[in-house]
Amino acid sequence: MSPWLRLPLLALAWLAGLGLAGALAGMIVVAVGLAMAYPNLPDISELADYKPKLPLRVYSQEGALLGEFGEERRNLTPIEDIPQVMTHAVLAIEDARFFEHGGVDYRGMLRAVLANLGRVKSQGASTITMQVARNVYLSSEKTFTRKIYEILLTFKLEHLLTKNQILEIYMNQIYLGNRAYGFAAAAETYFGKPLKSITIAEAAMLAGLPKAPSAYNPISNPKRARMRQLYIIERMQDNGFISAAEAASAKQEPLRLRSAGDNTRVHAEYVAEMARQLIFAQYGSEAYTRGLNVYTTLNAGEQDAAYFALRRGIMDYERRQHYRGPERFVTLPTAPAEVEDAIDDALASHPDNGDVLAAVVLEASAKKIIAARADGEKLEITGEGLKPAQSGLSDKAAPNIKIRRGAVIRVLQTPKKTWEITQLPEVEGAFVALDPRTGAIRALVGGFDFDKNKFNHVTQAWRQPGSAFKPFIYSAALEKGFTPATIINDAPLFFSAGVTGGQPWEPKNYDGKYDGPMSLRTGLARSKNLVSIRVLQAVGPKTAQQWVSQFGFEAEKHPAYLTMALGAGSVTPMQMATSYSVFANGGYRINPYLITRVSDHKGRVLANFQPPALQDSPRAIDARNAFIMDSLLQEVTRSGTAARAQATLRRPDLYGKTGTTNDSVDAWFAGFQPTLAAVAWIGYDQPRNLGSRETGGGLSLPIWISFMEKALKGVPVSEPTVPPGVVNVGGEWYYEEYARSGGVASLGLEAGAASHDGAAATTAPPPPPSEERSKILDLFRN
C-alpha cells in the first residue's frame, strides 16, 4: 500500500477510535448520571390512585351548577367516559403512536428533527407520557437536567401504569386555559356542554389548547384557534380516525362558544357564595381541593324567575331617573379598521352586565343614535328608546352628560326587539323566597349584580321595614282583645317635645289624608299610619316589642316606642321572609336553611340535613292568631295597597303587605302563598329618597308578582282550614270569646261617632287632657 494512502487511513482510524472512545465515555457519563438521578426521582405510586385537585361545586336541588370554587376547574372523568372523538383528536395532534411506543417515541423524535431542519411545520417530540411526567412532577424550564428527569420519569410511568391510566391522567390533568384543567372542564368552559356531547369540530378545537392555551384560546384568539383546529381535523383524517366526509363536515361546522356573559347558566352567585362560606367554615382550605359537591335547596327555575324579576324591577325604576351621562368618552379615529380596534379597547373595560349591554356611539343627534358593539354589530336607537337619556341629547347638556361620538353608553333590548338607551343602576335590591313549611330557601338574589357589589342585601342589609312591619303589631293586638271589626279612628295625633323627650312628633298617613273611623281590617288594608299608632298605644310598646321577638326579630333593634308601629326598627329581608312564614304555616317559627347534602367527587355522602317536621318546630303564635292575620293580609292583596297581586295573578290565596319607610327610603313587599313566602326590597346602599311617588306597591310589589307568576304556575289554590277557637259572625272572623261580646269595640272615638265602614262606634268618653297626656308620656317611657 502506498505510504500516501496509508497515512490518511491511519488518521481516519485514529479519529474513529477517538470518536468511539468519546461516545463510550459519554455513554458512561450518561449511565452514571442516570444511575445517580434515578433514586432521586419522585415516588409516582400515588398516580395509580390518581387524585388531582378538584374544585368545590355548588348545585341546585335539581343538580344545576350554581358555582365553582378553587384554583383549578376540573371534572374528574374516567377514561371509559371520555368520548372517542376527544381521545382521537388529542392523539392525532399530540401522540399518534401513543399505544405503540414505550413512552419515548424515537421515530417521532427523528421525524420532528427532520421536519424542523427542513423548516416545514414545526413538530414537537414529547409524547403524552412525557407530558404527564412534566405536568405532574416537573417544572417547565428547558434544561438538559430536567429533560433527563423527564425521560426517566416517563419510563417509570410506563412501567407502573397502563396506557389507559396514563391517558386518563393526561385528559384530566392538562391545563387548557380559563382555569380549566382537563377536557371535561374545558368543554363546559368553552362550549357550555358536557364532554360526552362534543362534536368532531369542538373536539379538534379543544385538542389544540395544550400546546399554548392562551395562544389558541378560541375566545380571545379565534383566528389562531381556527387555524389549529383545521390542522388537527386534517391530522385526524390522516391517522384514520375520521373519514374525508367527516373531516369536510367538521371544517364547515359553526362553533357556538360560551362567552363570559353567557345567560344560559343559573344566576345564583350570592347563593353560591353563601354555600362556599358555610363549607369553608366546616372543611377549611381543603374545601377547594377535595372535590366536594354541595347540594342546596335552591330551585333553579324559581331562582331564574327571581333574578330576572329583580333586575327588571330595578331597571324599570332606573328608567324613571335622571340620566347621569355616558360612562366614558373615547376618541374614535376615522379609518374603519382603527375604529374597530378603538371600540374593542374601550369596551374591554366596560363589559356587558347581563342584558344591560355596552356600546360606543358612532353618531348622535336629538332623533337618532347609532352605536357599535364589540362584535361589530351596529345598533340604531330612535323614538321611545331615546327618552330615558333625553337630557343627554339636548344642545344645552353639560359636557359630562352630552351623548356624542365616542361616548360609551348602555343599551337594553325592549320586548318589541327595539333598542333603548339606559344606564347601570345606582339603586340596589334584594329578593328571597323560602318554603314556609320547612325553611328551605327556594330563591335568593342579594343584589343587582354580584360582580358589581358582593354585599348580600338579603342577609346583611339592615333596613327599616316601614309599613311591612305593621302586621306584627296587629298580631299582638289580637291577643289584647282587638278583632278585625274593631273600629279605630284615623285622625291626627300630636306628641309634643315634652311628651316624647325629644323633638315634637306629628305622624301622618302616607297620602296626608285622614278618613276618620274605620275597621282594623280596613286600616291595615289601606296601611293607615294613625290607625297603627293607636293600636300600638293600646297594646303598649313594651308588650309589642316582646311579641315581635317571637317571630325572630331582635328586640334591641326595635326600641319600645310608638314609632315601632311605622316600622322604624331594623330588619333584614331574610328576617322578614322568615317572620312572614309564621303567618303562612299556621304559627310555627322555622329556621331558613340552604344546604341539604354534601358529597365527595365519588358521590359518597359526607353530610345530610333534614329539617324538623313543622309540628315539631317551636310555636311563635297560636293557630287562630295566624288564621285571622292571614285573613287581614289577604284583604291587603284583594282590596288594599297590594290589590294588584290578586288582580294580576287571579288567585285568592295570596297574602302580604306593602312597606314604604319615611321619606321613601326603603320600598318593600312581603307576602306569601301557603307553600311559598317571598320578600322584595329596593333602596340605596347609602340611604336616600327613592322619589316622592315611589312606594313599596309601585316598586317591590311588581317584582314579587313577576316571581310568583312563574313560581306558582301549576300550584293548586290553597283553601285555608279554620282552626279551633275561631268563628265567623256576619262575615267577619273573631276569636270565639270575642264573637258576641267583650274585646275592644273601638279606639280613639268620641261617643256615637260614625265609622268609615258605616257602622256606629261605641266607646267610653276620652280621658281628660291631663290624664291623656300622662298616659302618652308613660308609653314613651316603656
Show the cell assigned to 609.
Answer: 340535613
Which candidate in 68, 94, 168, 420 is catalytic? Answer: 94
Burial, 29: exposed, middle or buried (Cβ in 10 Å; 0-12, 13-18, 19+)? exposed
Q: Following CA atoms 562, 568, 570, 572 in sequence, which dihedral angle do they give, to the nearest 10 degrees?
A: 120
Chain-centroid distance, C-alpha 142: 43
412, 355 Cβ separation under 8 angstroms: yes
Show the cell assigned to 669.
Answer: 313587599
Strands 293-296 and 56-59: parallel
SS (H, E, C) 140-151: CCCCHHHHHHHH
Q: HSE-up of 647 (CA within 13 Å, CB side)?
A: 10
Strands 726-729 and 732-735: antiparallel
54, 291 Cβ separation under 8 angstroms: yes
SS (H, E, C) 696-716: HHHHHHHHHHHHHHHHCCCCC
Q: Following CA atoms 203, 205, 207, 208 in sequence, which dihedral angle do they give, to the nearest 10 degrees?
A: 170
State how far the Cα of 657 lies from the Cα of 638, in Å rounded to an integer: 11
Check if 94 is active-site. yes
State how far the Cα of 706 lies from the Cα of 645, in Å rounded to an integer: 10
Check if 420 is active-site. no
265, 65 Cβ separation under 8 angstroms: yes
Which candidate in 60, 467, 581, 700 is catalytic? Answer: 467
Beta carbons within 8 Å of 774's beta carbon, 6+ residues apart? none
Burial, 528: exposed, middle or buried (Cβ in 10 Å; 0-12, 13-18, 19+)? buried
Q: What is the CA radius of gyration of the chain?
A: 36
Catalytically annotated residues: 94, 467
